[in-house]
Amino acid sequence: MGAFDFLKVLVWDKKAPPKPKAQSAAIQIDSRSYPLATLNAKGFVAGNHDDSIAQGQMANITVAVDDRHGKFNFSTRVTITSVNANRQFAGSFGILTPEIEKMLQTYAKNRKAAPPATK
């Protein structure tokens, strides 16, 4: 063993810790993704729309959630109930299966009970 081989063992052989998985909750409408602010069994509030969303519009959406409160995805039909100037919009779900409705109720309960995430 050479004079500086201990550095190789102590410094270079250590692996970096794995990066935390990105957490996301979003809906997708026409191949555009919008981050979810709230989600429950009645509907959702999402943000960052680009004036392509109109109040009263009906759309087929895909909801994809992968965060510390749950991991699931499903597709459904919604009606956009409001669009505001803060680039947020809200929608109400059409018909949901009992399994999805129960899953959304559990997700909303877990999200409400959990402390805020730290960054």
Tell me the average pLDDT across 26-47.
Answer: 92
pTM of the model: 0.74
56 has pLDDT over 80: yes
**Whose CA is closest to 43, among 112, 2, 104?**
104
The model's pLDDT over 85-109, given as tens digits with 9 standing for 90+, comes to: 889 999 999 999 999 999 999 999 9
Domains of the chain: 21-113 (2.40.10.220)
- Length of the chain in terms of residues written: 119
Give the model's pLDDT for residue 92: 97
For the residues of 51-105, what is the DSSP string, one character each? S---TT-EEEEEEEEEETTEEEEEEEEEEEEEE-TTSEEEEEE----HHHHHHHH
Structure tokens at 62: 């895909």
